[in-house]
Amino acid sequence: MSTVPAHGQIPVIPPHVPVAAEIDYDKFVTEDDTPVDSIYSERQHRLLTESLFASWHAPDSQPHLAATDVGLFYAVNEPPVVPDVMISLGVAPNADWTEKKNRSYFVWVFGKAPDLVVEVVSNTEGGELSDKMRKYAKIGITYYVVWDPLRMPSKTPLQCFALERRKYVACKPTFPELGLGVTAWTGSYDGLQGDWLRWQDQQGVLLPTGIERADRLAEKLRSLGVDPDQA
């Protein structure tokens, strides 16, 4: 399954895997228990995925996958990359997650690269604007978002890129094929005040988390004179 290429890019063909070939998936390290690098990063990753699960409706009701810190294997003999967040349209996780080939994102299993990845910069060693950028372009990921709240590799906290002829060029923070955009937002999430990366719809409205949706409903009920606890 695949999506229509955007921005005039050349479609990237997944690494060829002969149908008759038996791949030993035990050789792939799909989980290494590497800890999250900071409390802020953990919450930022969770904020992005939580709001997607609570409020995002994929275009044309397509199946989709959204994940954080999951290995992205793009070639049989290459180590994976691990995006902070990735979104892929037209695919869905396999129901049998116990098989190793279903625990990570193998491009040749899903049949396509993800459509968007997000990297949250937490130090100066990640290569988000160099090595990782070149690798994501090589894989063929249509959109690449870099969120740098501490302004480590650059003075711009939010940068978005679209793939054109196998290279990334700066683009607006909107992704029409996904019905999504991103924006910087200042507020409190899970008890931590700060600047955050948030999803928004094509009208510029923030995608609320499940808790935000519940709070809005409770406020609406109170405005109508209804006790939310009794509703």
pLDDT per residue as tens digits for the range 56-75: 999 999 999 999 999 999 99
Is there a domain that residue 2 lies in?
no
Structural domain contains residue 14: no
State the pTM of this model: 0.84
Domain span at residue 43?
A: 25-230
Residue 215 lies in a domain: yes
So what's the pLDDT on residue 153? 85
Is residue 156 in a domain? yes
Considering the domain boundaries, does residue 161 fall inside one? yes
The amino acid at residue 138 is K
Q: Is position 15 within any domain?
A: no
Q: Give pLDDT < 70 ranges for the chain.
A: 1-22, 29-36, 231
Number of structural domains (the chain) is 1
Q: Where are the beta strands (DSSP E) in the chain?
A: 64-67, 72-73, 85-89, 105-106, 116-120, 143-147, 158-164, 167-170, 174-175, 180-189, 192-200
Identify the CATH number of the domain in which residue 182 sits: 3.90.1570
pLDDT of residue 100: 85
